[in-house]
Amino acid sequence: MPAGSDLIRGTEAIAKFWQSVLSTGVAAIELKTLDVYGQGTTVTEVGEYVLRAKAGKLLDRGKYIVIWRRQDGQWKLLRDMFSTNVPPRTS
């Protein structure tokens, strides 16, 4: 559930989305988990992200929330939503 986008579903569509992000010049994605909570088969992770270009220039920073579900003995991503902290450019 990226900001400014329709819902993206399925492995192929998600891979295509992230490939398009990487093709814009994003060379590094930094994730910082701030909180994890839940019980049973569902856990929520809240954190911050930073996107950088090859030279280390900051491209974007923001926050995210991921919901994980334990299925067949493995934690699998169920929902992922993120939004930028960078204000839009004004003309």
Listed in order, strand segments (DSSP E) in 1-91 are 28-39, 42-52, 58-71, 74-84
Structure confidence by residue, pLDDT tens digits, 16-26: 988 888 888 89
The DSSP bridge pattern shows strands 74-84 and 28-39 to be unpaired
pLDDT of residue 71: 95
| Separation of alpha carbons 42 and 71, rounded Å | 10
| Separation of alpha carbons 66 and 11, rounded Å | 16
Domains of the chain: residue spans and CATH: 11-84 (3.10.450.50)
pTM of the model: 0.82
Q: Is the pLDDT of residue 3 over 80?
A: no
Nearest to 88 by CA among 64, 65, 47, 60: 60
Question: In the β-sheet with 74-84, what is the strand arrangement from edge to edge?
Answer: 28-39, 42-52, 58-71, 74-84
